[in-house]
Structure 1
Protein backbone atom coordinates (compact mmCIF):
# COMPACT_ATOMS: atom_id res chain seq x y z
CA UNK A 1 0.00 0.00 0.00
CA UNK A 2 2.75 2.44 0.92
CA UNK A 3 4.66 1.80 -2.31
CA UNK A 4 1.61 2.67 -4.42
CA UNK A 5 0.87 5.70 -2.23
CA UNK A 6 4.48 6.85 -2.54
CA UNK A 7 4.34 6.49 -6.34
CA UNK A 8 1.10 8.48 -6.43
CA UNK A 9 2.63 11.27 -4.34
CA UNK A 10 6.32 11.18 -5.33
CA UNK A 11 6.00 10.71 -9.09
CA UNK A 12 4.01 13.95 -9.56
CA UNK A 13 6.70 15.72 -7.49
CA UNK A 14 9.35 14.45 -9.88
CA UNK A 15 7.37 15.65 -12.88
CA UNK A 16 6.73 19.02 -11.25
CA UNK A 17 10.42 19.31 -10.41
CA UNK A 18 11.33 18.74 -14.04
CA UNK A 19 8.97 21.53 -15.05
CA UNK A 20 10.05 23.93 -12.30
CA UNK A 21 13.77 23.23 -12.71
CA UNK A 22 14.27 22.61 -16.44
CA UNK A 23 18.07 22.98 -16.06
CA UNK A 24 19.40 19.71 -17.54
CA UNK A 25 22.48 19.84 -15.31
CA UNK A 26 20.28 19.60 -12.20
CA UNK A 27 19.47 16.11 -10.94
CA UNK A 28 15.68 15.66 -11.03
CA UNK A 29 15.66 13.87 -7.65
CA UNK A 30 17.52 16.76 -6.04
CA UNK A 31 15.10 19.22 -7.60
CA UNK A 32 12.11 17.19 -6.36
CA UNK A 33 13.33 17.41 -2.78
CA UNK A 34 12.61 21.14 -2.91
CA UNK A 35 8.88 20.45 -3.25
CA UNK A 36 8.40 17.37 -1.04
CA UNK A 37 5.72 17.13 1.63
CA UNK A 38 6.54 19.23 4.73
CA UNK A 39 8.00 17.14 7.55
CA UNK A 40 7.76 19.46 10.54
CA UNK A 41 5.56 18.06 13.29
CA UNK A 42 3.46 21.25 13.40
CA UNK A 43 2.52 20.94 9.69
CA UNK A 44 -0.80 19.34 8.82
CA UNK A 45 -1.50 16.97 5.98
CA UNK A 46 -4.73 17.18 4.05
CA UNK A 47 -6.96 14.71 2.28
CA UNK A 48 -9.68 15.91 -0.04
CA UNK A 49 -12.40 13.48 -1.09
CA UNK A 50 -14.64 14.33 -4.05
CA UNK A 51 -18.14 12.87 -3.89
CA UNK A 52 -21.26 12.55 -6.07
CA UNK A 53 -24.78 12.52 -4.64
CA UNK A 54 -26.96 9.46 -5.10
CA UNK A 55 -29.32 9.77 -8.07
CA UNK A 56 -32.43 9.32 -5.91
CA UNK A 57 -31.70 12.52 -3.94
CA UNK A 58 -32.23 16.13 -4.92
CA UNK A 59 -29.33 18.53 -4.39
CA UNK A 60 -31.24 20.06 -1.49
CA UNK A 61 -31.73 16.66 0.20
CA UNK A 62 -28.09 15.72 -0.39
CA UNK A 63 -26.70 18.99 0.99
CA UNK A 64 -29.07 19.07 3.95
CA UNK A 65 -28.30 15.52 5.06
CA UNK A 66 -24.56 15.89 4.49
CA UNK A 67 -24.41 19.18 6.45
CA UNK A 68 -26.50 17.97 9.37
CA UNK A 69 -27.13 14.34 10.32
CA UNK A 70 -24.00 12.95 8.64
CA UNK A 71 -21.71 15.40 10.45
CA UNK A 72 -23.15 14.28 13.80
CA UNK A 73 -22.56 10.62 12.87
CA UNK A 74 -19.01 11.36 11.67
CA UNK A 75 -18.18 13.29 14.85
CA UNK A 76 -19.63 10.54 17.06
CA UNK A 77 -16.71 8.21 16.31
CA UNK A 78 -13.91 8.63 18.90
CA UNK A 79 -11.01 8.13 16.44
CA UNK A 80 -12.41 10.96 14.30
CA UNK A 81 -12.45 13.36 17.27
CA UNK A 82 -8.96 12.18 18.24
CA UNK A 83 -7.20 12.28 14.85
CA UNK A 84 -8.99 14.82 12.64
CA UNK A 85 -7.73 18.33 13.37
CA UNK A 86 -10.00 20.16 10.92
CA UNK A 87 -12.97 19.11 8.80
CA UNK A 88 -14.75 21.12 6.13
CA UNK A 89 -17.19 20.51 3.31
CA UNK A 90 -17.30 22.12 -0.11
CA UNK A 91 -20.81 22.14 -1.58
CA UNK A 92 -20.99 22.54 -5.36
CA UNK A 93 -23.36 25.24 -6.56
CA UNK A 94 -24.91 23.54 -9.59
CA UNK A 95 -26.95 26.63 -10.51
CA UNK A 96 -23.83 28.41 -11.81
CA UNK A 97 -23.16 27.93 -15.52
CA UNK A 98 -19.41 27.19 -15.36
CA UNK A 99 -18.96 26.69 -19.14
CA UNK A 100 -20.24 30.26 -19.63
CA UNK A 101 -17.34 31.37 -17.41
CA UNK A 102 -14.88 29.28 -19.44
CA UNK A 103 -14.63 26.32 -17.03
CA UNK A 104 -15.51 22.65 -17.35
CA UNK A 105 -17.51 21.37 -14.35
CA UNK A 106 -15.58 18.81 -12.29
CA UNK A 107 -18.50 16.42 -12.17
CA UNK A 108 -18.65 16.16 -8.38
CA UNK A 109 -21.28 17.45 -6.01
CA UNK A 110 -18.98 18.13 -3.11
CA UNK A 111 -15.62 17.85 -1.47
CA UNK A 112 -14.64 16.70 1.99
CA UNK A 113 -11.48 18.27 3.41
CA UNK A 114 -9.79 16.47 6.29
CA UNK A 115 -6.68 17.75 8.04
CA UNK A 116 -4.58 15.60 10.37
CA UNK A 117 -1.09 15.62 11.84
CA UNK A 118 0.07 12.68 9.68
CA UNK A 119 -0.94 10.16 7.04
CA UNK A 120 -0.90 7.56 9.81
CA UNK A 121 -3.57 9.50 11.71
CA UNK A 122 -5.77 9.53 8.61
CA UNK A 123 -5.16 5.83 8.01
CA UNK A 124 -6.13 5.08 11.61
CA UNK A 125 -9.48 6.79 11.00
CA UNK A 126 -10.16 5.01 7.70
CA UNK A 127 -9.24 1.61 9.16
CA UNK A 128 -11.07 2.02 12.48
CA UNK A 129 -13.74 -0.65 13.11
CA UNK A 130 -16.35 1.85 14.32
CA UNK A 131 -15.67 4.22 11.40
CA UNK A 132 -16.10 1.30 8.98
CA UNK A 133 -19.34 0.09 10.57
CA UNK A 134 -20.96 3.47 11.31
CA UNK A 135 -19.65 6.24 9.04
CA UNK A 136 -19.06 4.34 5.79
CA UNK A 137 -22.54 2.72 5.63
CA UNK A 138 -24.12 6.08 6.45
CA UNK A 139 -22.14 7.78 3.66
CA UNK A 140 -23.39 5.17 1.20
CA UNK A 141 -26.97 6.28 1.91
CA UNK A 142 -26.47 9.72 0.33
CA UNK A 143 -23.42 9.61 -1.94
CA UNK A 144 -21.94 7.22 -4.50
CA UNK A 145 -19.25 5.73 -2.30
CA UNK A 146 -17.66 3.68 -5.10
CA UNK A 147 -17.24 6.80 -7.27
CA UNK A 148 -15.43 8.84 -4.61
CA UNK A 149 -11.93 10.00 -5.56
CA UNK A 150 -9.24 11.46 -3.33
CA UNK A 151 -6.18 13.67 -3.24
CA UNK A 152 -3.59 13.69 -0.45
CA UNK A 153 -1.08 16.42 0.24
CA UNK A 154 -0.68 19.69 2.07
CA UNK A 155 -2.06 23.17 1.84
CA UNK A 156 0.07 26.21 1.06
CA UNK A 157 -1.83 29.43 1.75
CA UNK A 158 -0.30 32.12 -0.45
CA UNK A 159 -2.47 34.92 0.89
CA UNK A 160 -5.58 35.34 2.97
CA UNK A 161 -7.31 38.71 3.16
CA UNK A 162 -9.52 37.61 6.06
Structure 2
Protein backbone atom coordinates (compact mmCIF):
# COMPACT_ATOMS: atom_id res chain seq x y z
CA UNK A 1 0.00 0.00 0.00
CA UNK A 2 1.24 3.49 -0.75
CA UNK A 3 0.06 7.07 -0.72
CA UNK A 4 -2.05 8.16 -3.68
CA UNK A 5 -0.37 10.44 -6.17
CA UNK A 6 -3.49 11.38 -8.14
CA UNK A 7 -5.21 13.40 -5.41
CA UNK A 8 -4.94 14.94 -1.97
CA UNK A 9 -7.55 15.74 0.63
CA UNK A 10 -8.21 18.49 3.12
CA UNK A 11 -10.41 17.99 6.14
CA UNK A 12 -11.93 21.18 7.54
CA UNK A 13 -13.47 21.18 11.01
CA UNK A 14 -16.23 23.76 11.45
CA UNK A 15 -18.06 25.01 14.53
CA UNK A 16 -21.34 26.91 14.25
CA UNK A 17 -21.64 30.44 15.53
CA UNK A 18 -23.01 30.85 19.04
CA UNK A 19 -26.76 31.43 19.04
CA UNK A 20 -27.42 29.36 15.91
CA UNK A 21 -29.14 26.02 16.42
CA UNK A 22 -27.59 22.84 15.09
CA UNK A 23 -30.60 22.38 12.79
CA UNK A 24 -30.38 25.93 11.36
CA UNK A 25 -26.66 25.50 10.81
CA UNK A 26 -27.01 22.11 9.09
CA UNK A 27 -29.81 23.36 6.81
CA UNK A 28 -27.79 26.37 5.75
CA UNK A 29 -24.43 24.62 5.47
CA UNK A 30 -25.66 21.76 3.32
CA UNK A 31 -28.38 23.67 1.48
CA UNK A 32 -26.98 27.10 0.67
CA UNK A 33 -23.32 27.40 1.59
CA UNK A 34 -22.32 24.18 -0.16
CA UNK A 35 -24.05 25.32 -3.37
CA UNK A 36 -22.34 28.71 -3.18
CA UNK A 37 -18.91 27.06 -2.82
CA UNK A 38 -19.56 24.40 -5.46
CA UNK A 39 -20.87 27.01 -7.90
CA UNK A 40 -17.67 29.08 -8.01
CA UNK A 41 -15.75 28.80 -11.29
CA UNK A 42 -12.48 28.22 -9.40
CA UNK A 43 -14.06 25.38 -7.42
CA UNK A 44 -15.38 23.71 -10.57
CA UNK A 45 -11.94 24.00 -12.15
CA UNK A 46 -9.83 22.75 -9.21
CA UNK A 47 -11.88 20.61 -6.81
CA UNK A 48 -12.62 16.95 -7.55
CA UNK A 49 -14.82 16.18 -4.55
CA UNK A 50 -16.53 18.10 -1.74
CA UNK A 51 -18.40 16.27 1.01
CA UNK A 52 -19.72 17.25 4.41
CA UNK A 53 -20.08 15.23 7.59
CA UNK A 54 -22.58 16.64 10.08
CA UNK A 55 -22.42 15.94 13.82
CA UNK A 56 -25.74 15.55 15.62
CA UNK A 57 -26.39 15.85 19.38
CA UNK A 58 -25.93 12.11 20.02
CA UNK A 59 -22.55 12.17 18.27
CA UNK A 60 -21.54 15.29 20.19
CA UNK A 61 -22.31 13.55 23.52
CA UNK A 62 -20.26 10.55 22.42
CA UNK A 63 -17.36 12.78 21.37
CA UNK A 64 -17.50 14.60 24.69
CA UNK A 65 -17.39 11.31 26.58
CA UNK A 66 -14.09 10.42 24.91
CA UNK A 67 -12.63 13.94 25.06
CA UNK A 68 -13.44 14.94 21.48
CA UNK A 69 -13.77 18.53 20.35
CA UNK A 70 -17.32 19.89 19.83
CA UNK A 71 -17.37 20.51 16.07
CA UNK A 72 -20.58 20.65 14.07
CA UNK A 73 -19.39 19.78 10.59
CA UNK A 74 -16.43 18.26 8.84
CA UNK A 75 -15.83 19.16 5.22
CA UNK A 76 -13.82 16.84 3.00
CA UNK A 77 -12.29 18.45 -0.07
CA UNK A 78 -10.27 16.59 -2.68
CA UNK A 79 -8.13 17.94 -5.49
CA UNK A 80 -5.27 16.77 -7.69
CA UNK A 81 -2.80 18.77 -5.59
CA UNK A 82 -2.48 21.17 -2.67
CA UNK A 83 -1.59 23.84 -5.21
CA UNK A 84 -5.06 23.47 -6.75
CA UNK A 85 -6.63 23.80 -3.30
CA UNK A 86 -4.53 26.89 -2.64
CA UNK A 87 -5.71 28.32 -5.97
CA UNK A 88 -9.29 28.08 -4.71
CA UNK A 89 -8.52 29.63 -1.31
CA UNK A 90 -6.64 32.56 -2.86
CA UNK A 91 -9.05 33.21 -5.74
CA UNK A 92 -10.61 36.70 -5.82
CA UNK A 93 -14.18 35.42 -6.30
CA UNK A 94 -13.72 32.95 -3.41
CA UNK A 95 -12.29 35.67 -1.15
CA UNK A 96 -15.13 38.07 -2.01
CA UNK A 97 -17.85 35.46 -1.44
CA UNK A 98 -17.10 32.60 0.92
CA UNK A 99 -15.61 34.29 4.03
CA UNK A 100 -18.52 36.77 4.16
CA UNK A 101 -21.02 33.92 3.89
CA UNK A 102 -19.23 31.93 6.58
CA UNK A 103 -19.26 34.91 8.97
CA UNK A 104 -23.05 34.60 9.20
CA UNK A 105 -23.04 30.99 10.36
CA UNK A 106 -19.75 29.75 11.76
CA UNK A 107 -17.09 30.57 14.30
CA UNK A 108 -14.19 31.21 11.90
CA UNK A 109 -11.70 31.39 14.79
CA UNK A 110 -12.49 27.74 15.59
CA UNK A 111 -12.12 26.46 12.01
CA UNK A 112 -9.27 23.97 11.60
CA UNK A 113 -7.68 22.77 8.35
CA UNK A 114 -5.89 19.44 7.94
CA UNK A 115 -4.22 18.85 4.55
CA UNK A 116 -3.70 15.14 4.02
CA UNK A 117 -2.10 12.71 1.61
CA UNK A 118 -4.35 9.71 1.07
CA UNK A 119 -3.64 6.00 1.46
CA UNK A 120 -6.73 3.92 0.69
CA UNK A 121 -6.70 0.85 2.92
CA UNK A 122 -10.22 -0.46 2.32
CA UNK A 123 -12.71 0.72 -0.29
CA UNK A 124 -15.87 -1.36 -0.68
Using the size of structure 1 for normalisation, the TM-score is 0.69
Cα RMSD of the aligned pairs, angstroms, is 1.9
The equivalent of 2:97 in structure 1 is 134
CA distance in 1, matches of 2:63, 2:22: 20
- Report the count of equivalent residues: 122
Whether 1:71 and 2:39 are equivalent positions in the alignment is no
Go from structure 1 to structure 2 and tell me whether the alpha carbon gap of 1:70 and 1:156 turns closer, same or farther (over 3 Å shift): same
Unpaired stretches in structure 2, ≥5 consecutive residues: none
The equivalent of 2:9 in structure 1 is 46
CA distance in 1, matches of 2:120, 2:36: 30
Q: 1:62 aligns with which of 25, 45, 49?
A: 25
More strand by share: 2
**Partner SS for 1:53:** coil
Q: How far apart are 1:153 and its partner, in Å?
A: 1.2
Q: How far apart are 1:140 and its partner, in Å?
A: 1.5
1:122-148 residue CA offsets vs partner (Å, 9 max, x unmatched): 010000000001111101111111221
Q: How far apart are 1:99 and its partner, in Å?
A: 6.0
Max Rg structure = 1
Unpaired stretches in structure 1, ≥5 consecutive residues: 1-34
Q: 2:79 aligns with which of 104, 108, 116?
A: 116
The equivalent of 1:90 in structure 2 is 53
Higher relative contact order (CA 8 A, sep 6+): 2
Most deviating of 123-132 and 89-98: 89-98
CA distance in 2, matches of 1:135, 1:99: 28
Using the size of structure 2 for normalisation, the TM-score is 0.89
Whether 1:145 and 2:117 are equivalent positions in the alignment is no
The equivalent of 1:106 in structure 2 is 69
CA distance in 2, matches of 1:122, 1:106: 25
CA distance in 2, matches of 1:156, 1:99: 25
Tell me if the contact between 2:17 and 2:107 (Cα under 8 Å) persists in the aligned partners. Answer: yes
